[in-house]
């Protein structure tokens, strides 16, 4: 059974954004955000590939592609 993970998109300004896991798994990424960063979008996904595909769709960047599809299609979290 796949674990569903929530992801967050944070915007600091028009040039800076961070897409990361929510909760404790994304804490180190969020520590790098400036004080004015705002969460603008969230999604749930069962793999990095699914999360990035949804992110690309939201950003209207086209289809997400990866050099490591089999690895990107699974989560390895402790």
Q: Over the stretch 56-70, which tens digit does the pLDDT of each residue have?
A: 999 999 999 999 888
pTM summary value = 0.86
Percent of the chain having pLDDT more than 90? 73
pLDDT at 78: 44
Q: Which of 67, 41, 66 is nearest to 53 (CA)?
A: 66
Is residue 1's pLDDT more than 60? no
Domain parsing of the chain, residue ranges:
5-62
Backbone angles phi, psi at 4, to 5 degrees: -90, 130
Buried b (16+ CB within 10 A) or exposed e, 13-32: eeeebbbbbbeeebeeebee
Q: Which helix (H) or strand (E) holds 22?
A: none
Helices (H) and strands (E) in the chain, counts: 3, 3
- For 8-31, the pLDDT digits (tens) are 999 998 889 999 999 999 999 999
Residue 72 in tokens: 């990107």
């Amino acid at each position: 059974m796949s674990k569903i993970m929530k992801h967050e998109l944070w915007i600091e300004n028009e040039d800076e954004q961070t897409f990361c896991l929510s909760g404790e798994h994304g804490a180190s990424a969020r520590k790098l955000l400036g004080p004015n960063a705002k969460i603008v979008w969230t999604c749930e996904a069962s793999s990095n590939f699914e999360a990035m595909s949804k992110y690309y769709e939201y950003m209207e960047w086209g289809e997400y592609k990866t050099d490591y599809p089999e690895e990107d299609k699974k989560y390895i979290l402790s």
